[in-house]
Amino acid sequence: MDISFSTEVESNIDELDEAIARLEQLDGKTAEAGLFGGFAAKKATWQEYGASRGIPARPFLRNTQYENENQWGQKIGQDIIQVFEGGLSSSTVLSKLGLLMVQDIRKTIDAGNFAPLSPATIAKKGSSKPLVDTGDMYGAITHRES
Give residue-wise pLDDT tens across range 46-70.
999 999 988 899 999 999 999 999 9
The string of DSSP codes covering 40-54 is HHHHHHHHHH-BTTT
Q: What is the average pLDDT across 72-90?
A: 86
Which of helix, strand or coil describes residue 31?
Answer: strand
> Mean of the per-residue pLDDT values for the chain?
87
The pLDDT of residue 72 is above 70: yes
**Share above pLDDT 90 across residues of the chain, in percent, rounded to a whole number:** 42
pTM value is: 0.80
**Residue 97: per-residue pLDDT:** 94
